[in-house]
Amino acid sequence: MSNLDFETELWQSDINYICGIDEVGRGCLAGPVLSGAVVFKDKNNLNSEMFTQINDSKKLSEIKREKLSVFIKDIAYYSTGACSSNEIDEIGIQDAVKLSMIRAIDNLVIKPEYLLIDSMKIDVDLPQKSIIKGDQISKSISAASIIAKVERDNLMKLSIANKFPNYNFEKNKGYGTKKHMDAINRFGITDIHRKSFEPIKSMIKD
């Protein structure tokens, strides 16, 4: 379960606006990569039962993620940033992840003083710490992973699934499941598929 060890150390150094950052959708074949940014508003009010349940979004059920997303939005400044499939194809997934993180920071209503980032360093003029498996360790990063996961899942389930009804995006969220690959073979590649990702890249060449 994630904790507040990194945040507490920074708070004790009079650094208040600590921003956790994480991305989702890195390994998908379709749809954007999306990053969340979360800054807890009141460091003295983070001991509720719901707060203790904040953890890596991958370790939570969909229902739990959605409930926690609502809770996090009530206790934190938050934002998201995205990079489209076309941008991923143009600059590569690594740089697209970094750009989505920078956009998430830029979309915050406050300017963070320090960044805690899951396994990544980004080119911004702010002090930062890259934490391996940060979404499992830091509450701020865990919260960012939940915000990002819920927003991206809803995007894939609703607007993108409605626009491309043959690809089962409401279930696979853009990941390369068997049904998704069967749909690509049957209906072809769409505008939101990542042309630089295998096996789509080889399919285009063929």
Residue 64 DSSP SS3: helix
Q: Which two tokens stand for residue 123?
A: 């080119």
In tens, the pLDDT along 27-76 reads 999 999 999 999 999 998 898 999 999 999 999 999 999 999 999 999 99
In tens, the pLDDT along 67-119 reads 999 999 999 999 999 999 999 999 999 999 999 999 999 999 999 999 999 99
Enter the pTM of the model.
0.96
In tens, the pLDDT along 116-143 reads 999 999 999 999 999 999 999 999 999 9
| Biggest alpha carbon–alpha carbon distance for the chain | 59
DSSP line for 30-57:
BS-EEEEEEEES-TTS--SHHHHT---G
CA atoms lying within 13 Å on the CB side of residue 116: 33
- Residue 14 burial by CB count (10 A; 0-12/13-18/19+): exposed, middle or buried? exposed
- 67 vs 51: CA distance, rounded Å: 11
How many CB atoms within 10 Å of residue 181?
A: 15
* In contact, 136 and 48? CB cutoff 8 Å: no
